[in-house]
Amino acid sequence: MRIVTTFLMLLAVWQSSATAQHSSVFQVCKADDCFYLAGTVHLLPDSEYPLPEPFIYAYQRADTLMFETEVPADTDVAAQRKMLAAMQYPAGETLSSKLSPAVKTQLDQTLRKYDLQLSQFDQFSAGFVVTQLTLLETNRLGLKGIGVDAYFENKAKRDEKRRLYLESLDFQLQLLASLADGREAELIDLTIAELPNTGKDLRTLIAAWRRGDVAQIERDVLIPTQQQDPRSYQRLFVGRNKQWLPQLMALFGNQQREMVLVGTGHLAGKQGLIQLLQEQGLRVTPLEVSHD
C-alpha cells in the first residue's frame, strides 16, 4: 500500500461497542475551548455509509466546518474547465515526451484496459494521469462513492452552516499538476505496478479509518510514501500540515464550535496534526459517543 493509496487519500467492517463508538474524530481542547478534528477518506464507497456516529455527533454540534479546499460542483462547467486546464501541459509539451519508451507502452496498454488511449491523456500532467488511473480502477471495482469531505460539504450547504477552507483550489491544482515534475516515468511506473492492489488497499485503509487507527495509517501509507517518494511525502503531508497549524490554532477564543475535516493521513505520524497540536500544549483525545 504505497503510491496508489496516497493518491486515494488525496481522493471494511466497522465494529461497534455497547458503550462507546470510536472513529477518526478527535476533540482538540485548550482548557475548555475545543474543536473537532475529523480524519476523512476522500473516496468512500456507497456501501460504507452511514458514517460512524462520532462524525454525525460532531457535525450536529458544529457551527462552522473547515475543509482542505472548496471543490466546485460537477455542474459548474466553467470551474471544471479551469481545473482541467490547470492539469494540462503548455502547448507543444506532452506526457509522452517525458516517458521512456517502455513506460509509454505500459501506460498505453493500461489505459486500453479501460477502453481509453494515451492520446486522450497526452496533454495532461503525470500527477493528473496517476489520479485518473486510480479512479478508473476503483470505478472498475465498483468502489464508487462520494468522499467524506464532499458529503459534509453538501450537507453544510443545505444546512447553511459556515464553511472555511485551509487552502485555495488553485494551490491544490498546482500541487497535483507539479507533483511528478522530473519524475514522470517513475511515478507512472509505480502506480501501474500497484493498481492490482487498489481494492485491497482501499478496504484496508477504510477499516483503519473507521476505527481511528492512525498508527496503521502511518505504517501502511505514510512510512512507505516517505521511503519510496520522500519529495511527495514532504509536499503532500509535512509541508501542508505545518501551513495548516496556525489556522487551527486561530480557532480558539471565539464562541463558535468548529469541525475540521482533512484526509486521515494528515493526522498520523510524528509530523502529523495530532502530534503538532499536542506540541502546542493542546489536549487531543478520540471523540467517544457514549450510550446509556
pLDDT confidence of residue 277: 99
User: Percent of the chain having pLDDT more than 90?
Assistant: 71
Instruction: Round the CA-based radius of gyration of the chain to a whole number and report it.
Output: 19
CA angle 55, 56, 58 (to 5 degrees): 65
Chain segment 51-62, per-residue pLDDT in tens: 999 999 999 999
Neighbours of 63 (CB within 10 A): 12
**Domain-wise residue ranges, the chain:** 3-290
* Contacts (Cβ under 8 Å, ≥6 apart) of 102: none
pLDDT in tens, 93-104: 999 999 999 999
The cell for 245 is 497549524
Please count the other Cβ atoms lying within 10 Å of the Cβ belonging to residue 36. 23
Task: Decide: residue 106, CB within 10 A, 0-12 exposed, 13-18 middle, 19+ buried.
Answer: middle
**pTM of the full predicted structure?**
0.89
